[in-house]
Structure 1
């Protein structure tokens, strides 16, 4: 049997508490320990205890030499024999923070005493029996070698992370990019919230967003702060262990985010980024399920279920931030952003409320035009409402003053909004307009604009010519060319309706 001796803890340079990179289960898998024919007497969750050193001792008073995190290797030769003393011995080890106990069995100790097994089971302390003689010095060398290698890997990984997040800070990377890189480094979903618990950015990896947001109570969390100012929190759901430590990765990400906040002058840019991201993803249908989008909206205080919601577009001298402020002052939950030169917003009102013209003007302002999509009570309807409002805004060619225009008052546009994902509608548009599209592309013509003016002013070609900014004679020449290219009668009501539908479909595609 190999020589045994006690090692005084203070004489050895060990990893600091909390820096352990091995578990009892890891050590148990080492070949040198497997050669001892190990039997797990008490395992389960106890095998997940962190090991930061190995200590060899047969002494009954070994607990006073331990600092915590040690894996105790022993033949139990010096242990007490009385049952109560054995229980007290195990309790002392537990209080000292020992990670687990490995006992070598032999002729003098054919089995581990029941009081030891019972005490370990009660306290959740890993207990392993070795049935074959084992060189404990080889075990300690293997443990120490693995710990040093792991610490070296951790240092390299910390340096890599430092370089990564420093580069992101110097490049002025937006918050969503920093959050995405943090999630990839951790291999777990990461969420950035501001102090109001609004979700600024989320990288769910392969998990549904709704599931991520519903499990934040189990997340690791670090504050995003600098110079005594706190802006929010960076959170990571449970995931695999990381060589540098999960909290270290989160802290690096939080530091990069804090630098971004200092550079941008605060977290106002965060809110704009979050709202623009929601609207972009909604318009682009970039969400795995309506529940995911509903969860993102709800995290920002915007409820869809049981509410009356609308998509709106506001045209005029206005900012998304001002639009959002006006909407909140009017008692609406709101998500607003600028898209394509117009300010667009999602509004959420109580189910009993009505978005009257007066309320729409109060939100948009007296000197602006607001385009209002149909009421919606779920995410997909809200998407249709916002798309329809944008289509209506895109088709508006009048130079009139401020007003409220509603999709509900334009049944054909509402039909196109509801069927915009139907490939047959797009095939109809392409088939009918192909000659005009080709003509305008090849000759830089304006036939599509002229046709749009015609269908916008049915029965009044003088008004249509004025809307096209063309003289009546030139306008009529354009109409004749359109009729020839399409081989249709532009005085036929059904033909005009079909062309109007084709134009609206084409416009809806360009505003998606």
Structure 2
């Protein structure tokens, strides 16, 4: 970014000469690319635009038409102003025809008192311009390095756009070729956007080149992609303080450099990502993960979802989380999650629903489904769950079918469902509950999923009961201390003697203290079970006929199962 004429007049090199602006006050925002000292009347043919001319007036014509022609010549050549130093030709004031000509052309005309030599002033001003150009170059290199590292490091487009918005302090939008918003970034989205007419506004901004600025709106835009293979457009809106008058946006050069670097990073990212629909999935995934991480406000979430074509305001929302069981192959997690996302996308499309769908982590996919504010939301959720299960193809199923043993391939798909909510501000709540339900169902074992002979099609947090609660609290030191206090002596005994008394105790408690059923479940004879229960009473110093004692021990055993779970720990 070059210094403006206003910056030049306020600099130490010139302010001591008491600059007086006689015309063109509304043009002081113009950037100054270089400063020339010349009294040549035909200097205009040597200029390239945005230069400031310093003159003494010694060669100026006395003719009114000659002075007008001189000013006209400078204005047409693109000069950004004329500075006349008093003292040589004009001692106190410059000719009125010169002032009138400058005002007619809205051309900045400034006089200086003879307080310094022109050569010294020009040298200082050009040094100031060179320093500014060096600063721009350093900023361009830093921007190039930042975006290159992001693209090569695998940053998704949403992150690149947010970084660009932060560096430019502007609202930035990545849109597809149909002028639909893919993702966006900015600190003041409400002021910058009116999403209801975004497509119409965007279609009205057409640039002749791949990178440029629309003079009417002040929008900066860059095509994203390689020549002949463009797939998006990156738009940087004027800052709120200058949006009413785009001509005041004097920072456009520096912001244009940032925009160009950001577009290049997105193009490079696209070359690395070859999966169909990967860009949209990246955008949806980023929105869901930011929602769960509390790094986005409800207002921003509503605006971004609307930009993606998914209205959430005034709709009933439900969160869903899909995952495979904990026994899945870790090496195949990426393929598994991609399969989950594809099944969810196909199900939503088949049922003509609207949903934000994306990856939450290395094992799970999430959905935030926007339903009609009227009608039976529960029935729609049930139908969606059923359709996802029908469309999902677990790994290994094809092999089992070829071997004609499909019954040996259990469906390991786990679906957690959150509560139906009526407000956008509760979107995080329903998605969080769905994630908890899926995690508990995956790691807490069959008991947490209920005693029904037929496995449930989906899981809700309120169905998980005590086992689910203990699983959520498994990292709490107080729960761990409780387990050690209740059954620690028994666990230590089993370790020292190689016995499995804790298994016998669990069977006894799970069968409601029915010793016959417990012996059968533990595959022990009744005398053998009786002997083991008696030994447990001696080790723990408890009475296993006491209901409260048995309840405490059963809670401790279930807590032990939760603590020993290999679920990922938070943090």
Do they fold alike, i.e. is TM over 0.5? yes
Residue in structure 1 matched with residue 291 of structure 2 by the alignment: 282
1:436 corresponds to 2:436: no
Pick from 42, 52, 55: which aligns with 1:71? 52
2:152 equivalent to 1:131: no
1:108 is matched with: 90
Q: 2: distance between equivalents of 1:386 and 1:101?
A: 64
In the other structure, the counterpart of 1:360 is 385
Q: Partners in 1 of 2:541 and 2:174 — Cα distance?
A: 56
Cα distance, 1:408–1:142 mapped onto 2, change above 3 Å: closer
Report the secondary structure of 1:292's partner residue. helix
Q: Deviations over 1:15-50 (max 9, x none)?
A: xxxxx7232123223433223221233465522212
The match for 1:307 is 315
How many angstroms apart in 1 are the aligned matches of 2:459 and 2:176?
Answer: 35
Where do 1:188-199 residues align within 5 Å? 190-195=172-177, 197-199=180-182
Output aligned runs, 1:159-170, within 5 Å. Answer: 159=141, 161-163=143-145, 165-170=147-152
State the distance in 2 between where 1:496 and 1:209 align.
55
Structure 1 distance, partners of 2:16, 2:503, is 84
Matches within 5 A, 1:334-483: 334-338=355-359, 339=361, 341-353=363-375, 354-356=377-379, 357-365=382-390, 370-396=415-441, 397-398=445-446, 403-405=456-458, 407=460, 410=463, 434-436=481-483
Which is worse superposed, 231-240 or 316-325? 231-240
Q: CA deviation at 1:307?
A: 0.9
Match of 2:17 among 36, 39, 57: 36
Unpaired runs of 5+ in structure 2? Answer: 199-216, 240-248, 325-335, 392-410
CA distance in 2, matches of 1:172, 1:150: 33
Secondary structure of the structure 2 residue equivalent to 1:49 = coil
Could you say which residue in structure 2 is the equivalent of 1:247? 256
Q: 1:303 to 1:491 in 2, by over 3 A?
A: farther
Distance in 2, matches of 1:402 and 1:104, equals 91
CA RMSD across the alignment: 5.3
- Partner residue of 1:332 out of 353, 366, 370: 353
Q: For 1:325-376, what per-residue CA distance to the aligned partner results, in whole angstroms no more than 9, with x for missing partners?
A: 3213322221223446333211112222424122432244377554322112
Instruction: Quote the residue 1:273 is aligned against.
Output: 282
Helix, strand or coil at the partner of 2:352: coil
SS at match of 1:306: coil
State the 1:311 CA deviation. 0.2
Paired residue secondary structure (1:365): helix
From the superposition, tell whether residues 66 and 337 of structure 1 become closer, same or farther in structure 2 (CA, over 3 Å).
Answer: closer
**What residue is the counterpart of 1:419 in the other structure?**
none
Give TM-score, length-normalised by structure 2: 0.64
Alpha-carbon separation, structure 1, partners of 2:477 and 2:190? 38
> Which runs of 5 or more residues in structure 1 are unaligned?
1-19, 417-424
